[in-house]
Amino acid sequence: MIQAMYNQSLDVVERPPSHPAARSDTFRAWFSTATATDTLGTAPPAASANSASAPESTVSAAGTSLGDPDVQGWLNTYYTEQGDLSAANTSYQPATGAGNNFAVGGVWGPDAIFAQALANQAGNAFASMTGDNPAEFTSQLPGIPTQQAQQQFDQMLAIENAERLASGQPIDTTAYWSDPGPITLDGVTYTSQQLGYAGPGQSSGPEPIYVSQANQVGTDTYSVPGYNGTVTNIQPGRYYTLQQLEQAGLTAGQPDAQFHPGSWTLTQNA
């Protein structure tokens, strides 16, 4: 269970990355698996803002606004999907004396709190088994960043998603802090809904699956992270929906192995 929790915590990728708490060499060696840097390094570089026109994020005075993150509720759902609900009971709180990966003025998205909670579970479980100090393997949970940082995150995510759409790839479904507004890229305008905005702090669905060159297992044949079987006639270094991969040969009907970003509760504005 602890091995699985550790691997899952490394699979959570933020825009920009919110790395789990720094782990000691003993922690990495004990699991004998890829480090967070190795895992994050398989993703393509962040999108450049030079090729798109993006307005600042805005918060509507009417309708709904950001509420609170139901961290335990998300963990319960996450581990239910993984078939191991008991793992949700591992503490996701930082240990006494734990540092903070989220500096004042830093940029992170709404999903960072769920990602760090998952990383904290792995750290607490590891420390419990080895007798090490859990403060070395956990971090304080992030709150809401500054308004400027929220806008920066939303703009970065919207631009990346516009570039994905322009290249025929599915978008990053992680939540925005607020409506990023439309973006025009190479003469094509994408609405905030096309860019994945589903409400403040709301994910727009499961993350697409990234297939890299490292997944090649034969001539024009690739494995799919989290799934059994292979696909053919695809281009590595791109994101795909599960449906696209099934059309490329992946066996349909397998248990859901896609990552589902967390969503915050919403409150109704007066």
pLDDT tens per residue, range 115-124:
999 999 999 9
pLDDT for res 64: 80
Domain boundary pick from 181, 205, 229: 205
Same domain (yes/no): 64, 152: yes
On the question of pLDDT at 176 being above 80, the answer is yes
Question: What is the rounded CA–CA span in Å between residue 27 and residue 33?
Answer: 10
Same domain (yes/no): 184, 62: yes
Question: What is the rounded CA–CA span in Å between residue 167 and residue 32?
Answer: 36
Domain boundary pick from 158, 190, 205: 205
For the CA atoms of the chain, what is the radius of gyration?
A: 19
Structure tokens at 94: 């930082």
Torsion of CA 152, 66, 22, 173, to 10 degrees: -70
Question: What is the rounded CA–CA span in Å between residue 171 and residue 150?
Answer: 19
Same domain (yes/no): 175, 234: no
- Helix (H) or strand (E) holding 266, with range, is strand 264-268
On the question of pLDDT at 31 being above 70, the answer is no
On the question of pLDDT at 270 being above 90, the answer is no
On the question of pLDDT at 57 being above 60, the answer is no
Between residues 21 and 175, the one the model is more confident about? 175
Question: What is the rounded CA–CA span in Å between residue 94 and residue 99?
Answer: 8
On the question of pLDDT at 205 being above 60, the answer is yes
On the question of pLDDT at 132 being above 50, the answer is yes
Same domain (yes/no): 187, 217: no
Q: What range defines the domain where residue 64 resides? A: 2-38+46-205
pLDDT for res 12: 43
SS3 28: helix
What's this model's pTM, rounded to 2 decimal places? 0.79
pLDDT for res 65: 85
On the question of pLDDT at 20 being above 80, the answer is no
Same domain (yes/no): 171, 238: no
pLDDT for res 93: 97
Query: For 211-230, how does the pLDDT look when each residue is reduced to its tens digit (9 = 90+)?
Result: 999 999 999 999 999 999 99
Question: What is the pLDDT averaged over residues 186-214?
Answer: 97
Q: How many CB atoms lie within 10 A of CB 194?
A: 15
Between residues 49 and 237, the one the model is more confident about? 237
Average pLDDT of the residues of the chain: 82
Same domain (yes/no): 144, 225: no
pLDDT for res 52: 53
- Helix (H) or strand (E) holding 43, with range, is none
pLDDT for res 8: 46
Between residues 214 and 17, the one the model is more confident about? 214
State how many domains the chain has: 2
Same domain (yes/no): 138, 199: yes
